[in-house]
């Protein structure tokens, strides 16, 4: 397995090369934290990556995850963000998950969220895991799956 510092440099360089190849004039910086490697893309032309609900950013994230999966290890996470788009979306997704969790606790009926990509599903699962009385499960056999939130069975 690659050290976090080396992985940080490799991922940062790769993302920098991709955005340069796309013709974008942006700044790419990478750092490590407790969760793994975080790559931040800033600059006016970064707007192109977050258009259409961040589809280009999601594609770049998927590409980075596919290429660096072996080096990052099972628990190592790599997050590519542009203009704090993911931070905002993550907060919105956590808020929606908490709303659905309250609905499940109130009604006792399982609820669905999705379809969601792997990154979004992870955020939902981690949010649901904060409540010991609830459980979550991904269903589906495609890239986008639905997360079922339910009362935990005893």
One pLDDT digit (tens) per residue for the chain, 154 residues: 456 668 889 999 999 999 999 999 999 999 988 778 899 999 999 999 999 988 999 999 989 988 888 887 666 788 999 999 988 888 999 999 999 999 999 999 999 998 998 889 989 999 999 999 999 999 998 888 999 999 998 7
Provide the 8-state DSSP code for 28. E
Q: What is the pLDDT of residue 75?
A: 63
Query: What are the residues facing 59 on neighbouring strands?
Result: none
Among the listed residues 128, 49, 107, the one whose alpha carbon sits nearest the alpha carbon of residue 83: 49
Q: What is the pLDDT of residue 97?
A: 96
Q: Which residue has the tokens 């099972």?
A: 74
- Please tell me the distance from the alpha carbon of residue 144 to that of residue 116, in angstroms, as a whole number: 5
- Please tell me the distance from the alpha carbon of residue 11 to that of residue 143, in angstroms, as a whole number: 23
Among the listed residues 129, 84, 136, the one whose alpha carbon sits nearest the alpha carbon of residue 110: 136
């Amino acid at each position: 397995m690659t050290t976090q510092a080396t992985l940080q440099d490799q991922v940062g360089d790769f993302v920098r090369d991709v955005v340069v190849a796309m013709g974008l004039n942006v700044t790419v910086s990478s750092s490590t934290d407790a969760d793994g490697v975080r790559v931040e893309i800033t600059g006016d032309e970064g707007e192109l990556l977050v258009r259409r609900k961040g589809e280009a950013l999601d594609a770049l994230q998927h590409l980075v995850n596919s290429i660096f999966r072996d080096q990052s290890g099972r628990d190592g996470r790599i997050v590519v963000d542009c203009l704090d788009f993911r931070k905002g979306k993550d907060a919105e997704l956590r808020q929606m998950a908490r709303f659905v969790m309250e609905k499940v606790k109130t009604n006792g009926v399982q609820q669905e969220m999705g379809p969601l990509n792997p990154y979004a599903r992870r955020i939902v699962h981690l949010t649901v895991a904060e409540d010991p009385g609830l459980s979550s499960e991904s269903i589906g056999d495609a890239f986008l799956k639905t997360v079922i939130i339910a009362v935990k069975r005893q």
